Amino acid sequence: MKGKLIKLTFFDVNFGANHPFYLVEVNSSKIKLGGPKLERNSENDWYNPECVSLSKLSNLNLLPESAKIKSASLLRLLSSFS
């Protein structure tokens, strides 16, 4: 997947590690897993990257819950500009 990085939106700390969340504009809906995530991917520890429109973000089972709350706040902020 190729895209344009718009902004690092926030970090979420989970299990002692910082996980960055980015706002990205993508040119295609084709996504391919790569790097360390591909290497660790297994039946018990899997990743399912997908493009999600901001309007559908609140309907997702986004984990950890703290990331879902931060994402929802970001969505409300972005919606106030449109």
Q: What is the pLDDT of residues 36-80, one digit of tens each?
A: 888 988 988 887 777 777 677 778 887 788 888 888 887 777 777
What is the pTM assigned to this prediction?
Answer: 0.57
Q: Would the CA dihedral through 9, 10, 14, 18 be positive or negative?
A: positive
Say if residue 2's pLDDT is above 70: no
Q: What is the pLDDT of residue 29?
A: 65
Residue 33, token pair as written in the block: 């897993």
| Cβ proximity of 71 and 53 under 8 Å | no
Say if residue 1's pLDDT is above 80: no
| Cβ proximity of 31 and 1 under 8 Å | yes
What value does the mean pLDDT take over residues 17-24? 84
